[in-house]
C-alpha cells in the first residue's frame, strides 16, 4: 500500500474557520459515507483526487473486522474536517509491536482549532487499548510543519533510520 504522507499543519500556523473553536469536535471511526469528504480534504491539500486509492484505504483500515478501528475522522458540525490513519505493526524492523501513524490531515479551513491534536490523541488511545506503548510515524525531513506538529506532542527521533537508494536500470 502506498503510504499517504502526513500533512496536518501545526496549531498556530494558519487561521481557519474554527480557530480556537468552541464547536465540539467529534472523533469517531470512519464510515463509508464519510469517504467523499475525506477524498475532498485530501484533494484540497494535495491537488490530486485519488478515489480508488481511498477506497482501498477504507477497505484496509476502515471499520469492519478490526477490534480497534484505525481510520478515524474528526467532525465539526457534522462535517468531516480531518482524519487520521494508523496501524499496530508487530515486530516490524525488529521492533516490538507499536502504533504507526501513516496519515493525518485537517481541512485548511478547520486548522488552528485543535482538530489534529484530537485526532492524534484518539488514535493514541486506540493504540493503547490495543496494548502498545509506543507511537511512531515517518515523514519527509523538509516537512517542517508536520514535524513541528508531532514534536509539539512530545514525539522525538526514534531509533530507526530510513535509508534509500536509486535502483539502476
Residue 154 beta carbon to other proteins: minimum distance, rounded to whole angstroms: 7
- Applying CB under 8 A, does 12 fall inside the site for other proteins? yes
Q: Are 98 and 135 in contact (CB under 8 A)?
A: yes
Residue 1 engages other proteins in binding (rule: CB under 8 A): no
Least distance between other proteins and beta carbon 141 (Å): 4
142 is an interface residue for other proteins by CB under 8 A: yes
CA distance 75 to 83: 9
In this complex, which beta carbon is closest to other proteins, that of residue 63 or of residue 139? 139
Interatomic CA distance for residues 63 and 146, integer angstroms = 26
CB burial string 51-90: b at 16+ within 10 A, e below: eeebeebbeebbeeebebbbbbbbbbeeebbbbbbbbbee
Is position 147 an interface residue for other proteins (rule: CB under 8 A)?
yes
Q: Is 154 in the site for other proteins (CB under 8 A)?
A: yes
Identify which of 88, 116, 80 has the alpha carbon closest to the alpha carbon of residue 7: 116
User: Is 130 one of the binding residues for other proteins (CB under 8 A)?
Assistant: no
Where does this chain bind other proteins (CB under 8 A)?
Answer: 11-13, 141-142, 144, 147-148, 151-152, 154, 157
Amino acid at each position: 500500500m502506498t503510504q499517504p504522507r502526513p500533512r496536518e499543519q501545526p496549531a498556530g500556523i494558519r487561521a481557519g474557520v474554527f480557530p480556537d473553536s468552541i464547536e465540539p469536535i467529534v472523533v469517531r471511526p470512519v464510515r463509508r459515507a464519510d469517504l467523499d469528504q475525506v477524498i475532498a480534504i485530501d484533494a484540497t491539500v494535495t491537488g490530486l483526487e485519488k478515489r480508488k486509492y481511498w477506497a482501498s484505504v477504507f477497505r484496509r483500515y476502515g471499520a469492519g473486522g478490526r477490534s480497534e478501528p484505525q481510520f478515524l475522522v474528526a467532525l465539526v458540525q457534522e462535517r468531516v474536517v480531518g482524519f487520521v490513519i494508523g496501524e499496530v505493526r508487530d515486530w516490524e524492523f525488529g521492533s516490538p509491536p507499536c502504533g504507526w501513524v501513516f496519515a493525518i490531515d485537517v481541512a485548511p479551513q478547520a486548522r488552528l482549532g485543535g482538530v489534529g491534536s484530537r485526532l492524534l490523541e484518539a488514535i493514541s488511545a486506540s493504540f493503547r487499548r490495543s496494548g502498545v506503548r509506543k507511537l511512531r510515524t515517518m515523514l519527509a525531513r523538509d516537512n517542517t510543519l508536520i514535524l513541528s506538529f508531532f514534536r509539539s506532542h512530545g514525539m522525538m527521533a526514534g531509533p530507526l533510520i530510513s535509508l534509500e537508494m536509486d535502483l539502476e536500470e
